[in-house]
Amino acid sequence: MEGFPVTTIQNVKNDDLRQFEGLTNYIEVLMSTFPTPITRKELAQKTGVSQAAITKIKKRLLELCEPNALIFSSKLILRTDETFWKLLVLYFLQMKPTKLLLSNYGWEMIKRMNIHPEISKRFNEYSSHFSQKDTETIIRIALYNLKNFQITNQIKTTIGDPQQRMMLLSTQYATAMGSVLQKLDLQIENIEDLLSILTIRDKLFYLTKQLLWQQVGKASILRELSQTEKNDLPESVFQYH
């Protein structure tokens, strides 16, 4: 299987999306069965079409699948190169991003982004509170709620313009999403899910508290206080100073 794709969302051209026309039903089966390769016969059964129908679109479909799997086992499995980014743009434009991102295929591609190490590298306080598993839970909650974000229409308009696709990675996008955080749907299927979400809530509280006290500790007014006045303040004010 290939490494994580170098191509990113801003490089995808609208013309690139034409290769998916009429193939989405088949692609969605491959997204759900990923990373297990399947035969064309199995694909036909899962999509409810004849093998002759698969044969008609075989050439186009094979272009989206890993060549090694085809050579060694004649089975189909989605490529893990720029195909992912093209599909991401396609499903955002169709207002169905969660169909891709919450599939087995989408989740595997997201894990390859190494989001937790990247956040920890840039935000030391984050790594002191949240684990890799916590980060994965947070990502799943965010993805599960993409369908609720009021910014979805704005995203659709923006990614239609190749020059503006980098907005998806900007602080403007993050800020806009923040306004709906209190309206999140939580996908709770068992007690472990509930405990995980409650733990993240508590960790987020303590992280916020730490960041606030850091700012308080740096406040210029504290430098003007006498030692006696500082002694009267809670020790936590200076804990992160």
The per-residue pLDDT for range 141-163, each reduced to its tens digit, is: 878 777 655 445 555 555 566 55
Angle between the N-to-C axes of helices 24-33 and 104-111, in degrees from 0 to 180, rounded to the nearest 10: 60
What's the pLDDT band for 2 if we cut at 50, 70, 90? very low
Domain with CATH 1.10.10 in the chain: 9-113
pLDDT in tens, 11-40: 676 667 888 989 999 999 999 999 999 999
Determine the topology of domain 9-113 in CATH. Arc Repressor Mutant, subunit A (1.10.10)
**Tokens representing residue 143 in the block:** 């993805």
State the Cα–Cα distance between residues 164 and 125, nearest whole angstrom: 31
State the Cα–Cα distance between residues 149 and 146, nearest whole angstrom: 5
Whole-model pTM: value is 0.65
